Structure formats: C-alpha cells, structure tokens
Chain A
Amino acid sequence: MLQHGPLLERLLAGEFICCITDEDAFRHLSVEQTQHDINHYLRPLNRRLVTNDDNSVFFLGYHELTKDAREQLSGQFAITVQSLLPLLEWLQLVQETLGRDSALTAGDTIKLQEFILRTEDNQSLRQRLNQLASDRFFNSQSEQLDNQVKLIFRRLKEHGYLLQPHQERQYYIVTGKIDYLIDVIRFIRDEEHLPVDDTPTQEALI
C-alpha cells in the first residue's frame, strides 16, 4: 500500500485521476487487484473508488451512504447542476473560437494566447466570453478580456477540468474529467428523457 501513498492522498483530496493527470497512477488504478487493495484500505474512511462508464477516470465516493454522506452528495450535486451550463458554454466557445471541428476531449491542448487573440477581434465571441466570465461559476469582476480568460482557465484548473503542465506557461491540457462531465450530462438526459439528441438525423448524414 505504501507505494500508492501519494496517489491515495490525491484521491482523498478529491482529485479525479485519468491518464492525463497521472498516467502511472491511472495505469495502476486500472488493475483490478490495485482497486481491490485501495478499496480495502479506504474502507474505514467510508470511501471507495468510483469510475465512470468507460473507466477513463477514477475518483472517490462513499462506501456507505450515511445521512451525512447524502447531505454532502446533495451539496455536491447542486454545484454540479449549477456548473453544467457554464461548462457547456465554455466547451462551445473554445470549439468555435479555435475553429475546431469536434468538441474538446481529454488530451487536447489549449493555448491561452491563441484563444485570447482570436476572441479579441471578434465582437460576438468577445461578448459571449464576457457573459460567461461573469457567470456565478467563474465569477469574474474584471472587464478586461485578458483577466477574464485567465480567471476562467484558472477556475477550470481548480475544478480539475484542465491541467497546466508548467506554472509559467500559459497552455492547458484537457483532463479526463471532461469525459465525466459528458457522462453526467448523458446520464441526466437519459434518466429524465430530455429532448436532447446526440445522433445525427438521417438528413444530416446525407
């Protein structure tokens, strides 16, 4: 168990572990025996490993759903629901601004300077970014584009959606937590039968 000490600490601190945030740890976590060992170790703390549908990201959940645990989960869930729209809008904005032909996925790199440059010259992108930055989730007070973008990316880093490999260099890598977000959205969509399509209609295919 000793070798997994740092990993356990990161998991306990609420981190999502994917192959982007920590490739080695992720490989370890993908081994069934390690999962078993870690769960065994976490049992007295009322924690267990949880993973998403396609096992691309690991995090800690409660082993037993006590009253306190449920309270905490309710709070967490409220935050998640609140953050859905700003996160989705951010995903759309990045995709459009950088002219990508597909949505962001784990492992994609975003250069902050490029993003700022492209937003600067475009009034409508500028406005959308302005609106997004002032959303409660990002909560920027600044009027300056540069500061707004930096804050947005910093918040996303804090929330584990982005990884900044070098403290001084302004580029970010999308982590596997984005997959988790998509899974959450898909789950809610399926569960609540929301009229939200994700398969192209026949006309779109032709």
Chain B
Amino acid sequence: MAPVDSAIASNLLTIGAERLALLGKHHKALMQGYLDGFVDETAFSEGALKKLIAARILWRPDEQQPLALRPLVSELIASMVADENRRQINADVAEKLEQIRNRVQAYRDAQYKGDYSVAELQLQRLTEQVHDLSGQFEEAIDSLWHRLNSDFGFVASLDDKIRENERAQKQLRRLLDGLDLLDFNELIELSEGNNHLRKLLVSQLQNQLSSHHSSLLEVQKRLVELLAKFRQQQARSMLINNMAAFLRQHPKYQPADYPNRTDVPVLFNQAAIIKPHAAIALDKASERQILADLVRALPRTKATQLSETPAASFAQQWQDDAIAARQQALKTDVENFYLRVIDHGGKLSALDYLAQQQLEWDSEIWLYQIIAEYQALPLDEKQMFAIVRDEAPASSMNQLLLIRDISLGLKAA
C-alpha cells in the first residue's frame, strides 16, 4: 500500500476512534436527546458541545432550533434498539449497484495495470459493498418482522396500526422493486473470468438475495393477513358503536319477525334446551351394590312425632278465613321452596326462587316465613339445612344489619 494511504488511514483511525468515544462519553444525554427530539444543551460543557458538533453527531437544523442528533446518528440508535417508530428502511438499490459496477471496473483496471495492492484494496471495498447491499435488505426484513410480530404494538390506535401496516407494505414493495433491479446476467458478465468476483457477485449474492426475496414474500403475505385482521376489527368496532347508537336513538325498534318466516334464518334457529335426566334402575343386578351404598349414604331421618305447636302456625289466631287461607298458601309455598332445595341439592336463593316462581308474596313476608319455617323444624332436620343470610348494614352510620336475601342449601350428610 502507498505511504500516503497509510497516513490517511492512521489519521482516520485516530479521528474515528475519538469521535466514537464521544458517543460513549455522553451516552445518557445523547440518548435522552434521541427520545426528546432535541438535546439539552445545559447537560454538556461548551467544549463538549463543540466537539460533538464537529464530530457531526449534533447539529442545529435551524438558527432558532435547539441542537439535535444528526439523522444518521438517530438512525443508528433506532436500528440498535429496534425502535420501529424511527427506524428507516433504505430501499435504494440503484445507487449501490452503480457503486458495485464502478468498483468492479476499478478492480479490473488495477489488475490490468498489475497494481496488485490497489486491486486488493478495491476487492476489499467491493466485498464490503456487496455485504452492505445484502445487509440493507436484512435490516429491512428484520424491521418488518419486528413490526409484524409485535402486531404494530408501537402505535396506540387501530387507525394508526392500519396506516403503519400500509406504510410497511409500501416499503416492502419498494424493496421488491429494488431486488428486481438486480440483474444476475449483468452480474455474471461483470464477474466473467474472475473466480473471486464470481464467488462474490454471483454465488454468494444470489444465494442471499434469493433468501431475502422469499422472506420478503412471506412478510408480505403476513402483512396482508394482518391488515385484513385490523380491518375486520375496525369494522367490528364500528358496527358495535353504530348499532348501539341506533338502538339508543330508537328504543322502540323491533326487527322483523324472523322466527315466523317460511325460511327461518339459521342464526335464529336456536332450539329449546333438552336436559337428559336419568333415574335409578334396578334391573341390573351388578349395579345393586353401588345403589345400596348410595342409599346408605343418604341422611337418615328419624321418625319423630311433630309436636302440635309449629312456631309459624298463625292460622289459629285469626278468625278471618280469608287471611287464614292466605297464610296457609304462604306456608305451602315456603314448604315447596324447602322441597325444591332438597331436590335441587345446591344452594338456592329465596328471592330468586320467589321471582322465578312468580309468587306474589311481599319479599319481606317471604323471608320471614322461611326463617319461621326453619326455626320450626326439629333439631336434627335443622342440621340438614345450611341457611345463609345475606346481610348488610342499614347505612354506613347505622350498624343494624338488614337481611337482603336468604340462601338455603343442603348440608352434606
């Protein structure tokens, strides 16, 4: 290599290293500047600012504007941290191709002249450029995948996501167009008669680009799918909002009587529930043992004589037959409620039952009678039931507990 070149190279090395060190020295303030869009000048000494500007890390886009990171530095950071909001995609292939052509020419010229050290250097640069070209696609594809896999989570609203998706699709089309610019016949011609060039420009580049090409197509497919999904979500949100608004504006709205059309739309063909019930069958001898065990597990009721004074038998105190009849009816309904609890097995709310059966009793009377009936039970039968009162204080000032509801269930035997 010529001595002049090595002087330049060593000069470059010192300057470059110094300036890269500047990035590290001020990393926090610069990163803050990246996030804010401008840098806080008070965070640096005057000397440091001058150095940063001279190093082309910071610049002042306009007299009135604060200092900011140069676009190339921002881009570098965006790529390093995969910040999809700021990451740039470079789809310019024509320029790179032009450079490659020129380099090949320069390399060939140097070889022709027998200047091998220059030729070596040109080949080195050419290799870098080819890698750059491939790396440019790789970076773009990485960015696209990253955005896809995060479902465009870096923007907040669905509308923004749709716009971002469309932008990504445009980028992708430019990248594909860029790939089309690469004409392998031309590259084969360029590398004719030279093994190094053929390896670099034809076999290696072709391999890489064809894998980029298939990646891009895959990304494109996924982007289109995702866009369709976004649009579907958008349509669904709009349908929900607009239909709700319509129904609110037209509270009396009644759709047509679809169930009585000749052709009932399938959506409204929703059949009534059938619950298969089964009962004990004694016709299989093999199952008798199991049944016997089940029967034995039932809670046993002792045949106790009910005393003649159930607590809730108001009936005798009243002379009025009508009231007595009503009282008896209430008692029967409550008894039915208890029977239902026994049949049902699980917990049953008294008020739910009242509403379900559409009984006309006042809910307070109803609850009273249920408690009364419970109190009237003999002790061992009382133990069969779990009675839970749903209570709440009368108000925040008054600690008196009001019973809101009662739920009754069977205790396990």
Contact = CB atoms under 8 A, between A and B. Distances in A.
- Secondary structure type dominating chain A contacts: helix
* Interface size grouping (class) on chain B: 35 or more
Contact of B242 (A69, A95, A198): A198
B267 A92 contact: no
Nearest to B268: A77
B236 A198 contact: yes
- Secondary structure type dominating chain B contacts: helix
Residue from A9, A14, A73, A84 having most chain B Cβ neighbours under 10 A: A73
Interface in B217-249: 233-244, 246-248
B270 interface: yes
A98 to B, nearest CB: 13
Contacts of B257: 74, 77
B269 interface: yes
A154 B268 CA distance: 24
Interface string A19-58: 0000000000000000000000000011100111000000
Contacts of A187: 265, 267
A101 B236 CA distance: 12
Contacts, number: 131
Nearest to B247: A85
A187 B266 CA distance: 11
A17 to B, nearest CB: 13
B264 interface: yes
A117 interface: no
Contact of A61 (B244, B270, B276): B270
A52 B162 CA distance: 27
Contacts of B8: none
Contacts of B248: 85
Contacts of A74: 257, 259-260
B161 A101 contact: yes
Contact of B158 (A9, A81, A102, A186): A102
Contacts of B244: 85, 88-89, 92
B268 A73 contact: yes
Contacts of A77: 257-259, 268
A61 B254 contact: no
Contacts of A182: 236, 239-240
Contacts of B158: 101-102
Contacts of A59: 270
A50 B264 CA distance: 12
Nearest to B264: A65
30 contacts: A60-B271, A61-B270, A65-B269, A73-B264, A73-B269, A73-B270, A74-B257, A74-B260, A76-B259, A77-B257, A77-B258, A81-B255, A85-B244, A88-B247, A91-B240, A101-B156, A102-B237, A182-B236, A183-B267, A185-B239, A185-B243, A187-B267, A191-B255, A191-B258, A192-B256, A194-B243, A196-B239, A196-B242, A199-B235, A200-B234
Given A14-B271, A77-B258, 19 more contacts: A14-B272, A47-B271, A60-B270, A65-B269, A70-B260, A72-B272, A73-B259, A76-B270, A77-B268, A84-B243, A88-B243, A88-B244, A92-B244, A102-B234, A183-B267, A187-B265, A187-B267, A194-B246, A196-B243
